[in-house]
Amino acid sequence: MGYGIYNFVSFFLLPLIVFVYCYGHVLVVMKKQMRVMAGHNVEGSAQSASLVQNKRIKWNIIKTMIIVTAVFTFCWFPLNTYYMAVENMWESSKLVTGYLVTLFLPYVNICMNPFIYATKHEGVRRILARMIVCRKGDDVAVVDTAAGGAYNSGRT
């Protein structure tokens, strides 16, 4: 039981607290930065466009935080509660099967994280597009140019 509690706190609760704290800190810094930028802009239309852009970025970060935290919780909670709920899991084949199913979910979470960030952030999408080896150089240049970058793949 002690190992189950240690496992739950170390591999589920502590990372969840770190997620929420770090994303919350990012939001606080962005809010301060938005206030500073709003004070420097004197032109009305430029200021409103800047505020709209900043609010969109802030909302994007909030959505990313919610998605990452929800997927983490969904994938890691079953395994960590399984440790505490089942004391002698090797006595029954059904318990072993349940363990193997819950053990698979954290690997799903690890694989999903790059895709979550890629769908929410343009910069991550560009970097992942560069990393895909099987794409032609022209395709990567087109993707990057469409994203506003000036990447030259070096392949033609």
- Does 31 share its domain with 50? yes
Both tokens assigned to 21? 């704290």
Q: Could you give the angle at which helices 14-40 and 44-85 cross, rounded to 10 degrees?
A: 180
Task: Judge contact between 91 and 105, C-beta under 8 A.
Answer: no
pTM (predicted TM-score): 0.66
Q: How far is it, in rounded angstroms, from Cα 68 to Cα 22? A: 12
**Mean pLDDT over the full length of the chain:** 76
> In sequence order, what DSSP letters do the residues of 85-150 get, joined into one string?
H-S-GGG-HHHHHHHHHHHHHHHHHHHHHHHHHHHH-HHHHHHHHHH-TTS-HHHHHHHHHHTT--
Number of domains the chain contains: 2
> Three-state DSSP class for 151?
coil
User: Mean pLDDT over residues 21-26, rounded?
Assistant: 87
Six token digits for residue 99: 């363990």
- The answer on 86 and 18 residing in a single domain is yes
Locus of tokens 């500073």 = 36
84 and 51 within one domain: yes
- Based on the fold, state whether residues 104 and 152 are members of the same structural domain: no
* Higher pLDDT, residue 76 or 41: 76
Instruction: Please check whether residues 128 and 108 belong to one and the same domain.
Output: no
Tell me: do 34 and 92 sit in the same domain: yes
Rounded distance, CA 30 to CA 18, Å? 18
68 and 136 in a common domain: no
pLDDT (mean) for 14-29: 88
Q: How confident is the model at residue 125 (pLDDT cuts 50, 70, 90)?
A: confident
The verdict on 141 and 89 lying in the same domain is: no
* Same domain as 92, residue 16: yes
107 & 125 share domain: no
Domain assignment of residue 145, given as a range: 121-156
Residues 108 and 127 in one domain: no
Q: What does the pLDDT look like over 49-106, one tens digit per residue? A: 777 777 888 888 888 888 999 999 999 999 888 877 776 555 666 677 778 888 899 9
Encode pLDDT of 92-119 as tens digits.
Answer: 666 777 788 888 999 999 898 888 888 8
Query: Would you say residue 135 has pLDDT above 60?
Result: no
Mean pLDDT of 138-154: 48
